[in-house]
Structure 1
């Protein structure tokens, strides 16, 4: 790996999964790059991010989201210094990871990315308290794409919302649908030999959320200036390389209404010449699925890695 050049390395920021305060506490308070960035986040928001994350319930609270963003960016900084032979020449951020990618690529300053994350979290929470309160996003594996298409077709034929929110791998899907329709979907998953994993509230990535996209633009992103990224950001929607601030801005907004397609992102990274991906952040998904491991040398950098490195040095 010592001969790997920048154009062969991608920094990947994972989508956000449930992350407990205990998962990042030591990293956030003991690793210099982390506690420096958390201090900057505190200043940007006017409150102690870690303290509020510790004291607030909910996997996707405003404070959890900001803490996840800061952790990912601090881990990327550590990885460039300690885990990679050259700076990455491209980056990607599936789903929530797009916020981290926008900051890492320099389209947003760190403080603006923190502010945006907090404000978007409030906007989303308010929206789903008023709209689409019965929708969820359900994830499952081991179901073939044609079977998934058939199951969703049966729902949409009855006028029900049933959208692919995320395509994580060939047989790994996340579907946004009504909670009332979930028992029937789960029955179909079992009949197809699949395995249901978890159900997310609030839901995500559906054309039904066009008004949320509009609100997020008017209430949050219109307040920000997006600069040209210093390195290409690969879209997690269609794999296109984004090289302007406007494109990165639209990527974040389109995340409300467009499907996250990780296999397509992988294909685009490969076409870009990437052979090694560093997945920076708390992650049990993107660094592990076959779509990633069969195509790249994977360098996972989670919150424990800098602590272990310090212990062994």
Structure 2
């Protein structure tokens, strides 16, 4: 049976649940200590003082939790993939990036994002919709003055970046054509309009960040390509800023690799829930489950 580790994109986490795991779990404590040494301050203290769900400290806490959860799985994956923010943890488990460098890269690029969106694209958000009929989807998109697709999760399940002033009308029209709105992300993500952010993050984060060829097949979240070189890993990590994610392409690639079982390493309320994920045998590994008396994989 072939297995893959899937590191999910970052979603707002329950602070108490995540920090409890990072404090009480032995593997997590070791990872927290290593991360603290890299950044030079207490990640947990900074996370406690964070004012929003995607702050640099929140990103670091989420990264540490995902890697620590994967540490506890008693199997070596045959492939790894990461969705959106999860790419860095996936790169770590592929052997392409050390954990310390992943922490350093996360901190640097989080600061780049905060600085960039403080002055750029302040009127843009990324909104998630599901169960939207294809004809209705195209109709509603055509009514917007500007948009860019930021991701495809499954049939009728999309992430779209649009101007915030049009969001209320957009969500109303999605409902009228039979779809459902989920949540809105600020700052926005994965849109071609953010190419300048990609260049800024590249210059700030990769100057002294050594990368290696992956030791385990690493599947790109943009198009499902199997990344085999250090240069390919660098491109994948930068593509996250200005290329949409494509979960259907990822699952198709995992099927081609013979993967039948997925271990989701981190809190996920999105990618493991859709029909394409259900084609695999699923296991959930998240902070809440990790603190149960018996540590075992739980079907997603």
Same fold (TM over 0.5): yes
Give CA-to-partner distance per residue, 1:156-190, whole Å, 9 cap, x none.
xxxx3311111111121111010012122112101
Deviation at residue 30 of structure 1 after TM alignment: 1.5
2:289 is aligned to: 305
1:18 is aligned to: 12
Is residue 66 of structure 2 the alignment partner of residue 60 of structure 1?
Answer: no
Alpha carbon RMSD of aligned pairs, Å? 1.4
Deviation at residue 199 of structure 1 after TM alignment: 0.9
Give CA-to-partner distance per residue, 1:134-169, whole Å, 9 cap, x none.
0000111110234223322332xxxx3311111111
Tell me how far apart the structure 1 counterparts of residues 261 and 114 of structure 2 sit (CA, whole Å). 36
Deviation at residue 309 of structure 1 after TM alignment: 4.0
Picking from 171, 174, 196, the partner of 2:159 is: 174
Structure 2 runs not aligned, ≥5 long: none
Structure 1 runs not aligned, ≥5 long: none
Picking from 173, 181, 184, the partner of 1:188 is: 173
Preserved CA contact (<8 Å) 1:29 1:35: yes
**Matched residue SS, 2:276:** helix
User: 66-75 or 102-111, which moves further after superposition?
Assistant: 102-111
Is residue 226 of structure 2 the alignment partner of residue 237 of structure 1?
Answer: no
Give CA-to-partner distance per residue, 1:109-158, whole Å, 9 cap, x none.
11110011011110001000111110000111110234223322332xxx
1:130 is aligned to: 119
Preserved CA contact (<8 Å) 2:224 2:252: yes
1:281 is aligned to: 266
Tell me how far apart the structure 1 counterparts of residues 136 and 212 of structure 2 sit (CA, whole Å). 42
Is residue 42 of structure 2 the alignment partner of residue 37 of structure 1?
Answer: no
TM-score (norm 2): 0.95
Deviation at residue 311 of structure 1 after TM alignment: 7.7
Aligned length: 296
Picking from 244, 247, 256, the partner of 1:271 is: 256
Tell me how far apart the structure 2 counterparts of residues 265 and 145 of structure 1 sit (CA, whole Å). 21
Tell me how far apart the structure 1 counterparts of residues 275 and 293 of structure 2 sit (CA, whole Å). 27
TM-score (norm 1): 0.91
